[in-house]
Amino acid sequence: MLLSFVAATAASAQENMGSASNTIDEVIWVVGDEAILRSDVEKVRVQMGRVTGNPYCVIPENLAVQKLFIHQAEIDSIEVNEDQVNRYVDAHISEWVQTAGSKEKLEEYRNMTLTQIREETYDLVKDNQLMQQVREHLTKDIKVTPAEVRHYFKDVPADSLPLIPTQVEVELLAEHPKVRQEEIDRIKDLLREYTNRINSGEMSFSVMARMFSEDQGSARQGGEMDYMSKVDLDPAFANVAWSLTDPGKVSKIVESQYGYHIIQLIDKRGDKLKLRHILKRPQVDQRDVEAALLRLDSISMDIREGKFSFEDAASTLSDDKDSRNNKGLMFNVVYDETTGERIRTSRFKMGELPSEIARVVEGLDVGEISKPFTMIDKAGKEQCCLIKLKNRIKAHSATVTEDFQILSQMVRSQRCEEFLDNWIREKQRTTYVRINPEWVTCDFKYPGWIKE
């Protein structure tokens, strides 16, 4: 069972930390060579907030199971991606800060500095990511055939089949209004000014980033980004970043898909760099937005009059690279928890669409083209859009013919859980376990912790 990380409320965090601070630490479980401390249980209890069942039974058992998987990771030489761990940590901390109301309030509730919270969360997230990778590694060869799926669901009553929510297929034609040269010049002048102030010692790069960078995620950290490899970054940004050799030196201005940047090298570790940057995005003139909307309106009229199809227009005129090569059809990337793979599909649940597109889709009939509208794309740029609702699959009970992939994943997921359940029970049998007497009265999911 993976531990979830749900932001605790202020009241529960204070209560939990209060109980932890009054507890004398001790070893309560030993699994193999690994010890579980009373403080480990308290830390996870604070991180998880509410727990189904007795937390002093559920949490140590979860940690014990985790120890089994982490030991297996050492045997199989499985490692986690540190960049991915850091992204998860950042997301959790941002959520907690938002729930608490501010960084200072979070520190007060947790009775820890933000650095301490981050270090503690990093270890918890890293262990959970490692555990997940081992689960995926152990079950990677488990397959299910179409015959198994059909047999599994053959006798399942219709009202017991999973409900598939409404899904849609959407085609997109997008245009980015061109930014005027005077606006580009203004942005570059600002970045040159920042560079001069940094180089003169008037102000540090990190302070300037906090004050002026439009990358909200890194600006809070003084412009700092986690260690990243070249393939993780925009190509133009990466080329300039990898040309830097002197830590502290400010790069030339570089244009990426997100806007304009200046970059500073902090450290190099193998094939990864730790950088800080300042991002400024040029603003589009409203006159150019209106002109783009008029062009799209004209295109939609030509499509309705049969001069060409939406798909032909999207293939030749759209600025959206992801959908243009698919005749405008948008693709959704869905994470399959049972395989650890990312699956590409043209179907979206309404909540998976960008909010601006979802609002427009709600009012369209199948085959209908929208009026032109504006939205912010994933690079943070304003774009003008037309969409066509290609298909709407209404909510329904799953069927093998229509929803085979979903049902196949369900069957495989059950097979994986059965395999892992047996694996854990076998590991319990062959692994040294010692539990303090006060902790042995629990009704454990896996009774094999208590050895006769």
CA distances from 274 to 66, 91, 271, 426 (A): 31, 19, 10, 43
Are residues 383 and 176 in contact, defined by beta-carbon separation less than 8 angstroms?
yes
CATH number at 10-142+415-449: 1.10.4030
Q: Is the pLDDT of residue 87 over 90?
A: no
Q: CA-CA distance, 400 to 407, in Å (whole number)?
A: 7
CATH number at 166-178+285-394: 3.10.50.40
Check if 10-142+415-449 and 181-280 are the same fold: no
pLDDT tens digits for 254-275?
A: 999 999 999 999 999 888 899 9
> How high is the pLDDT of residue 319?
92
- The CATH class for the domain spanning 181-280 reads alpha beta
> How high is the pLDDT of residue 3?
34
Share of the chain above pLDDT 90, in %: 52
Provide the residue ranges of all domains of the chain, joining segments of one domain with +.
Answer: 10-142+415-449, 166-178+285-394, 181-280
pLDDT tens digits for 209-259?
A: 999 999 987 888 899 988 888 888 999 999 999 999 998 899 999 999 999
What is the average pLDDT value for the chain, to the nearest integer?
Answer: 87
> How high is the pLDDT of residue 217?
78
| Average pLDDT score over residue span 101-123 | 86
CA distances from 352 to 165, 169, 347 (A): 12, 11, 9
Q: Is 349 helix (H, G, I), strand (E, B) or coil?
A: strand
Written as one letter, the residue type at 366 is V
Share of the chain above pLDDT 70, in %: 92
| Average pLDDT score over residue span 12-40 | 68
pTM: 0.62
> How high is the pLDDT of residue 11?
34
pLDDT tens digits for 434-452?
A: 998 888 888 899 989 987 6
Tokens of 179: 């930014």
- 208 backbone φψ class: left, alpha, beta (φ>0; ψ -120 to 50): alpha
Are residues 186 and 281 in contact, defined by beta-carbon separation less than 8 angstroms?
no
Confidence class for position 94, pLDDT limits 50, 70, 90? confident
| Average pLDDT score over residue span 366-373 | 97
Q: Is 265 helix (H, G, I), strand (E, B) or coil?
A: strand
Q: Is the pLDDT of residue 187 over 90?
A: yes
Tokens of 25: 């630490």
Written as one letter, the residue type at 91 is A
